A and B are shown apart, each in its own frame.
Chain A
Amino acid sequence: MSTLSERILGAPAGEYVDRKVDRAYVHDGTGVLTLETWKLMGAEQLSDLPQLYVLFDHIVPANNSTTATLQHELREFACGSFLQFSDIGGGICHQLMSEGVVLPGEVVVGADSHSCTPGAFGAFATGVGATDMAAIWLNGETWFRVPDTIGIHLSGSLCSGTEAKDLALSYVSRLGMDGGTYSALEFIGDGVKTLPMDDRLTLCNLSVETGAKTGMFYADDVTVKYLAAAGQKAGVQVPEPCTYSRELEFDLADIVPLIAVSNRVDRVKPVQDLAGVSVDQVFIGTCTNGRYSDLARLAKIVKGRKVAIRTIVVPASRAVLAEAIRTGVLADIIEAGCAIGTPGCGPCLGAHMGVLGDGEVCLSTANRNFKNRMGVGGEIYLSSVATAAASALSGEITEPGAD
């Protein structure tokens, strides 16, 4: 009679537990500080307990000598210590963890707030800072307060023209930026089976925007089939009656195209209400919406047409890019006038490429629209891929048509 978090962590909500970590990952941003802190702890060798990964995705390729030097040091360490390493162009850490790596029931910790993403596989996946990660490198374990769980009941199926991203913005808006703090979100109900893994990853990805510790789906036939295609064997997880601290219900058929307005992820309005707002840049990608199904949806909308404004497309991983090349999706996107970036986080964090000018507006498929995040004086609106694609074609915020 437990929630999925309670089952995986082995204790009831509210208790503190020390748990061995199955997989732990850092990226080029947080890895530098993790390495520095781990050395300060007086460590001489890495813990041999968890699978440890260093995955370069944040500033790829390096934008200046300072970044390059920091990345060089981390790269040398990762390769010399036999950590599992992915260099520039491999893709976003959360995406790489989701390409047949994370398995149901695992405890997964990443030094990045969106490490809640692989919770979509029925893992307990959450983000920590550099010092907590350094301690995991040291001991192979960390402490958790077992979270209470908010049950998000899904029924029905999404209408044409709406996406999991619209549902994600909808629940973030309902819970607010701190409505999930210290909790886990569990997505349950009949509507779940209509959602492919890519959609589930998008939904779990935004859980941290409510303050939640993680977002989770029970592994089901969809999960097992996805992992099998990636060469992994996994079983299903059957939900059991449990106590939720709070419950929300969504009929997927009621979801409409939505946008989170600058500067809050929970300031959500129907696209219809913002139609006509002028946009300077469209960005399609990130750990939220940079997967193959996202690029395919974009291609379907822009194929044979031309974007009216600068449009940056960054595949979430090399595998996503390769698949988009293989199927012709990438050619459609390029021929429509989009610029393609190296697989990785792209302009989302505003640290290197695709930065906004003062007063410019970006419509982005990412997960954060905080003040100045993509450049001082720039405004960020968050939407689905379909809304971003329709808006790229018109140059202003535009509601996507039915598929």
Chain B
Amino acid sequence: MQGAGHAVCLGPDIDTDLVIAGRYLRTKDHSVWVSHVFEDLDPSLAGHLNGAVIAAGKNFGCGSSREQAALALREAGVVAVIAPSFARIFFRNAINVGLPAIECSLSCAEGEYIRFDLADGWVEAGASRHLIRPLSPRMRDILAAGGLVNYWRTHR
């Protein structure tokens, strides 16, 4: 699986309350999450996520298990989230909704063009290429299917 996008750089320990606040969770209208994504972190971020690769610090997605955090990013057009480490529930949620979550220590500048190839196992920021920690075979299959819903629709 390959992808590319402009970098949106974030700090460490971004919790899922910051990705989408609890006050916006009670709806089936996914566009609500897209409108309010990262509102408590930086309200201007929502407008820059379409086609973005989020390059975050360690422990991205800590806190609440709310899957709306992964959905909000996917539906806002985020191509992938790259971080040195993820909170485990967010990591599973992201893969389960078809959003690549890539474990990699990456130094990059805001807006820089980032490319990745999960099959080959690398991320490129500018001229520098970084190796990534590979997904487990099961997670690779889930992501390749576009998420766990499609995975089980075809594996039953």
Q: Which residues of A contact B (CB under 8 A)?
A: 16, 29-30, 32-33, 36-37, 40-42, 59, 66-67, 70, 111-113, 115, 127-132, 134-135, 138-139, 143, 145, 177-178, 181-182, 211, 213, 264, 349-351, 368, 370-373, 376
Q: Are A131 and B96 in contact (CB under 8 A)?
A: yes
- Residues of chain A with a CB closer than 8 A to B70's CB: 129
Within 8 Å of chain A (Cβ to Cβ): is B67? yes
> Digit string of B83-94 for contact with A (CB within 8 Å is 1, else 0)?
001011110110
Bound Cα distance A134, B152 (Å): 10
Bound Cα distance A37, B148 (Å): 9
Q: Are B59 and A181 in contact (CB under 8 A)?
A: yes
Contact partner, A66, options B15, B27, B40, Cβ 8 Å = B27
Within 8 Å of chain A (Cβ to Cβ): is B13? yes
Q: Are A30 and B66 in contact (CB under 8 A)?
A: yes
Which residues of B from 25 to 58 have beta carbons under 8 Å from A? 25-28, 40-41, 58
Q: Are A143 and B22 in contact (CB under 8 A)?
A: no
Q: Are B62 and A177 in contact (CB under 8 A)?
A: yes
B56 to chain A, nearest CB (A): 12
- Residues of chain A with a CB closer than 8 A to B96's CB: 129, 131-132
B20 to chain A, nearest CB (A): 12
Q: A178-B87, A370-B15 are in contact. Are A42 and B62 (CB under 8 A)?
A: no
Contact partner, B17, options A32, A59, A213, A371, Cβ 8 Å = A371
Q: A36-B28, A67-B26 are in contact. Are A370 and B17 (CB under 8 A)?
A: yes
Which chain A residue lies CB-closest to B68?
A: A33
Q: Are A370 and B68 in contact (CB under 8 A)?
A: no
Bound Cα distance A376, B87 (Å): 24
- Residues of chain B with a CB closer than 8 A to A36's CB: 28
Q: Are A129 and B28 in contact (CB under 8 A)?
A: no
Bound Cα distance A89, B80 (Å): 40
A51 to chain B, nearest CB (A): 20
Q: Are B17 and A373 in contact (CB under 8 A)?
A: yes
Contact partner, A132, options B13, B22, B40, B92, Cβ 8 Å = B92
B76 to chain A, nearest CB (A): 17
Which chain B residue lies CB-closest to A183?
A: B88
Within 8 Å of chain A (Cβ to Cβ): is B100? no
Bound Cα distance A139, B155 (Å): 11
Q: Are B40 and A372 in contact (CB under 8 A)?
A: yes
Q: A131-B96, A371-B18 are in contact. Are A30 and B65 (CB under 8 A)?
A: yes
Q: A178-B13, A211-B59 are in contact. Are A131 and B68 (CB under 8 A)?
A: no
A290 to chain B, nearest CB (A): 18
- Residues of chain B with a CB closer than 8 A to A70's CB: 26-28
Residue in B66, B67, B90 with the greatest tally of chain A CB atoms within 10 Å: B67
Contact partner, B67, options A115, A129, A373, Cβ 8 Å = A129
Known pairs A350-B22, A368-B15. 7 more at Cβ < 8 A? A41-B149, A41-B152, A67-B26, A129-B93, A134-B148, A211-B88, A370-B18
Within 8 Å of chain A (Cβ to Cβ): is B97? yes
- Residues of chain A with a CB closer than 8 A to B25's CB: 29, 351
- Residues of chain B with a CB closer than 8 A to A37's CB: 149
> Digit string of B3-32 for contact with A (CB within 8 Å is 1, else 0)?
000000000010101100111011110000
- Residues of chain B with a CB closer than 8 A to A211's CB: 59, 62, 87-88
Bound Cα distance A204, B6 (Å): 40
Which residues of B from 116 to 156 have beta carbons under 8 Å from A? 136, 138, 147-149, 152-153, 156
Q: Are B67 and A131 in contact (CB under 8 A)?
A: yes
- Residues of chain B with a CB closer than 8 A to A132's CB: 92-93, 96, 148
